[in-house]
Amino acid sequence: MKRVALPGGEEVPALGMGTWMIGEDAARRSEEISTLQQGIDLGMTLIDTAEMYGDGASEKLVGQAIRGRRDRVFLVSKVYPHNAGRKAAQLACERSLKRLGVDCLDLYLLHWRGDVPFTETIEAFVALQAQGKIRHWGVSNFDLDDLQAWCDLPGGDAVATNQVLYNLTRRGIEWDLLPWCQQQQMPVMAYCPLAQAGRLRDGLLNNSVVTDIARAHNATAAQILLAWVISHEGVMAIPKAGTVAHAQENAAALNITLSAEDLARLDNAFPAPG
């Protein structure tokens, strides 16, 4: 299992599971729980959720899925920007812990930048860490200016990761954010690594270069896309899986090593920003 090191040396799986829009349909609950449990059994033990997802429904489902498996899971949740103040973050974290049925989060992220001063959020995260309610903390959807401003504040350089949109069609972070994070040895967590649903994703999965490389590796297009994301230094990915078969497909991407020729072809088909 490929792993990515957090600041301080702790390692987490390079491929985990996202849970956006999971837990909102009672008819699919059993299948979604089984999917998460299958993913854990396959080594995708990093699970990402948020208080925003289904207004807490995703956290509740994740809590049910990891019951009896908590010690195997690296659990991530995110706080709304409007809940990121000193007292509000404390209360929001406690609500998330209750929904998840756990005593501590492995990683707690500010979901995106809001109006609460960074200093307040950092103080809140440090306090939660001191109380043993979170182990690590970080940010999400930060561009380079935001991230540098955060890291320049007292205590801000303890940020563990930045969770951002990143896939073969959305390579903007390669312009400045990703190189800076790599230089700082700060990992990046990629959401929507297979692109978002709709025509964009369909076009990516059916792209002739992607499908040709997939055939050469006896793999699926989705597996090639995941292998591409996690081939980058310090990058982990959290694709969503809606079925057990989908979780199995995602996990198999860990067995794929793209060649220099593969990577060059993908670069030519989907150029990085200039």
- What residues act catalytically? 53
Amino acid at the residue 79: V
Beta-strand relationship, 105-110 and 134-140: parallel
Place of tokens 């993913």: 39
State the alpha helices, DSSP H only, in the chain: 29-41, 57-65, 86-100, 118-130, 144-151, 177-184, 199-205, 208-216, 221-230, 244-252, 260-269
Q: Which two tokens stand for residue 151?
A: 């890291």
DSSP state of 271: P
Q: How far apart are the first and last CA of the chain?
A: 33
Q: Are the beta carbons of 53 and 75 closer than 8 angstroms?
A: no
Q: Are the beta carbons of 53 and 20 closer than 8 angstroms?
A: yes
- CA distance to 104, 138, 159, 217, per residue, from 132 (Å): 7, 16, 17, 45
Which of 191, 105, 183, 195 is CA-nearest to residue 142? 191
CA dist., res. 222 & res. 202, Å (int): 10
Backbone angles phi, psi at 79, to 5 degrees: -105, 140
Place of tokens 């297009």: 221
